[in-house]
Chain A
Amino acid sequence: MRRVLLACGFALFAMPLSAAERVLSVGGAVTEIIYALDAQEKLVARDTTSTYPAKAKELPDVGYMRALSPEGVLSVAPDLILAVEGAGPPETLAVLQEADIALISVPEGYDGAAIAKKITLIGAALGREAEAETLARQVQNDLDHAAEQAQTRAGAAPKKVMFVLSTQGGRIMAAGQNTGADAIISLAGGVNAITGVQGYRPLSDEAILAAAPDVILMMDRQGDHAQGDGDLLAMPAIAATPAGQSGAILRMGGLYLLGFGPRTAVAVADLSAALYGR
């Protein structure tokens, strides 16, 4: 079956209609999906946020997705740019349009349907429709399954989870509603401890005490995210919370946790297992 699909893919690929031969991928999840669709041989470059799979890091980096430079993009001579929603700046996009380079904007979203949509869109752009359909269905099924299992694990006592984006200068920046972190926490059978706040916001120590998270979730990245657990637990706001008392700090890869790409179902299962035990 897979071979037939691959053959179909190659047939499409060989047709003059699917012209995209040199693709620039902007956005971590977009790059992951391109690899998952086995279309990476078309990739000529990536942006700074595209760090998975490790192979992707060998591609030239055209800069941060919101601060792309027009000449940098042109220098890798793409004939198609697949960019996550929010890529820019608009001035650069205007120049690229002038240079007649096709740009497909991939909408962001925080559920299974949104991931499936990303996959279908990218598959269609790369002439990998069949694989994309299979992958989209599989990802959506896996995610549904993982979420269902997570709800069962959580049962009647879901844990309150606070996602901490950064702790720069002792100020804790946490995830409120309408964020990827909020979505992944509820998919994994948890409850976002921070309510009534939109987006990522710096919170006062008292607000964190009042939120009383059972678990603190962070990204394991370099920079100020890489603060040691000891330092974090020593912060007065954290120390007095249930999470602080029990030392419950979870760390997961940023793109893995918040990318909403092909690995999200596994990330949900991982997070739920870390929250409630297998």
Chain B
Amino acid sequence: MARQPQAAITDRLQRARQLHLGLWLLLGCAALLSLSSGASAVSIDTIFAALSGQALSPMEEVVLYSIRLPRLVLGILVGAALAVSGAVMQGLFRNPLADPGLVGVSAGAGLGAVAAIVLGGSVAWLGFAGIYLVPLAAFFGGWGSTMLLYQVATWHGRTSVATMLLAGIALGALAGAASGILVYMADDAQLRDLTFWGLGSLAGATWAKIAAAGPIIVIALLATPFLARGLNGLALGEAAAHHMGIPVQRVKSAAILSVAAATGAAVAVSGGIGFVGIVVPHLLRLATGPDHRMLLPNAAVLGAALLVLADLISRVVIAPAELPIGIVTAILGAPVFLWILLRRRGGMGL
């Protein structure tokens, strides 16, 4: 009797591994599609020409190397960061609807960005940061508010997830109020900028942004596989996990730090992109179960692929103009999210 569930779990893990290969394939196709389509005439032939060493026209070079390639790389990084952060948060809070917003990253990053957009022009010494002022402010805002929340929720070396959740709501309201004051001060043009920031976009992708955000995201993502066993244990409850020999407190702090770093960096360079962090982990749990050992890597690849595809849609659907990517992910993600809610309605007592 005891063997059957064991066999089922191994079977699921096996399926998750096969899926992992499939997801890489999907990401590869998405990447190629993304590089070869867009408003201008640079196509798949141009890419093959570039790969075979032929010289490109200056225009083709700009489109490929300064526009599409940085966007692709940033899309992969941001998509992976958001999806993995979502999966980690859902594991940590043992709540299927948890997302990185719960640890204050989004509220803090939003406040940082609003402050930079509204006040940035009037504070002379901030001028050195130039076009990187908004991303920098968003990152430090997100990181700072998560650290504050973590301090509030940690007492005698133990972090209470419930306190964190409730304090997060209070801190979010406070950050929202502060943003509100700044929005009130904003002029017409700044209000437009705020709206576009909130909808998210990869249009501002530059190699400099990738160089700044990339290492943070990559390091945070590389740390998450070590959390997988701990998160699996936490699914049974903190006491049970502790009895299984899992260093609960270390898992919690590592999870919160990596989520704050990855999401903070992702939001800083791309603005508010919703639903990736909720939809991707859910799709994978439905397909191959909740085992974090494969869930986290699969979420990274699927998140990257989906964001690259969403960015592709945002670029081509009203070309030569562009739709903010947050609109695309919400249009695609919200129905999936509702469907998940309806399916689980009974189980969650909603």
Interface, chain A (partner B; CB < 8 A)? 45, 48, 60-64, 66-67, 69-77, 86, 89-92, 94-95, 98-100, 165, 198-202
Q: By the criterion CB–CB under 8 Å, are B315 and A71 in contact?
A: yes
Choice from A66, A74, A200 contacting B67 with Cβ under 8 Å: A74
Which residues in chain B, 33-49, are within 8 Å of chain A measured between CB atoms? Answer: 38-41
* Chain A residues whose C-beta falls within 8 Å of the C-beta of B204 in the assembled complex: 89, 91-92
Q: Can you offer 19 A-B residue contacts whose CB atoms are under 8 A?
A: A63-B321, A69-B39, A69-B321, A69-B322, A70-B67, A71-B40, A71-B320, A72-B39, A72-B320, A89-B193, A89-B203, A90-B130, A91-B203, A91-B204, A91-B206, A92-B203, A165-B188, A200-B187, A202-B184
Q: Which 5 pairs across A and B sit closest by C-beta, in order of nearness? A: A63-B321, A72-B320, A75-B39, A75-B40, A69-B322
Q: Which among B41, B184, B189, B204 has the greatest number of chain A C-beta atoms within 10 A? A: B204
Q: By the criterion CB–CB under 8 Å, are B322 and A63 in contact?
A: yes
* Complexed CA–CA distance, A62 and B315 (Å): 11
Count of CB-CB pairs between chains A and B under 8 Å? 97
* Chain A residues whose C-beta falls within 8 Å of the C-beta of B201 in the assembled complex: 67
* Complexed CA–CA distance, A72 and B318 (Å): 10
Q: By the criterion CB–CB under 8 Å, are B62 and A91 in contact?
A: no
Q: How far is the CB of B195 from chain A (nearest CB, A)?
A: 9
Q: By the criterion CB–CB under 8 Å, are B188 and A200 in contact?
A: yes
With A64-B192, A67-B203, A89-B193 given, name 10 new contacts (CB 8 A).
A63-B321, A67-B192, A67-B196, A69-B320, A72-B320, A75-B319, A92-B204, A94-B206, A99-B66, A200-B187
Q: By the criterion CB–CB under 8 Å, are A70 and B203 in contact?
A: yes
The chain A residue with its CB closest to the CB of B199 is A67
Q: How far is the CB of A66 from chain B (nearest CB, A)?
A: 5
With A75-B38, A94-B206, A199-B188 known to touch, is A48 a contact of B321 (CB < 8 Å)?
yes
Decide yes or no whether B131 CB sits under 8 A from chain A.
yes
* Chain A residues whose C-beta falls within 8 Å of the C-beta of B58 in the assembled complex: 99-100
B61-82 vs A: 1/0 string, CB under 8 Å? Answer: 0110011100000000000000
* Chain B residues whose C-beta falls within 8 Å of the C-beta of A77 in the assembled complex: 40, 59
With A92-B203, A98-B66, A199-B187 known to touch, is A73 a contact of B320 (CB < 8 Å)?
yes
* Chain B residues whose C-beta falls within 8 Å of the C-beta of A201 in the assembled complex: 184
* Chain A residues whose C-beta falls within 8 Å of the C-beta of B62 in the assembled complex: 74, 95, 98-99
* Complexed CA–CA distance, A165 and B188 (Å): 10
With A66-B193, A67-B196, A202-B184 known to touch, is A72 a contact of B66 (CB < 8 Å)?
no
* Chain B residues whose C-beta falls within 8 Å of the C-beta of A86 in the assembled complex: 189
Q: Which among B62, B130, B204, B320 has the greatest number of chain A C-beta atoms within 10 A? A: B320
The chain A residue with its CB closest to the CB of B42 is A71
Q: By the criterion CB–CB under 8 Å, are A61 and B187 in contact?
A: no
Q: By the criterion CB–CB under 8 Å, are B40 and A74 in contact?
A: yes
* Chain B residues whose C-beta falls within 8 Å of the C-beta of A198 in the assembled complex: 187
Q: By the criterion CB–CB under 8 Å, are A69 and B41 in contact?
A: no
Q: How far is the CB of B33 from chain A (nearest CB, A)?
A: 15
* Complexed CA–CA distance, A133 and B59 (Å): 35
With A70-B203, A74-B59, A75-B39 known to touch, is A95 a contact of B67 (CB < 8 Å)?
yes
With A66-B192, A91-B206, A95-B62 known to touch, is A72 a contact of B68 (CB < 8 Å)?
no
* Complexed CA–CA distance, A71 and B206 (Å): 13
Q: How far is the CB of A98 from chain B (nearest CB, A)?
A: 6
* Complexed CA–CA distance, A69 and B322 (Å): 6
Q: By the criterion CB–CB under 8 Å, are A99 and B59 in contact?
A: yes
Q: How far is the CB of A258 from chain B (nearest CB, A)?
A: 11
With A90-B130, A92-B203, A199-B187 known to touch, is A74 a contact of B321 (CB < 8 Å)?
no
* Complexed CA–CA distance, A64 and B67 (Å): 19
Q: How far is the CB of A215 from chain B (nearest CB, A)?
A: 22
* Complexed CA–CA distance, A77 and B38 (Å): 14
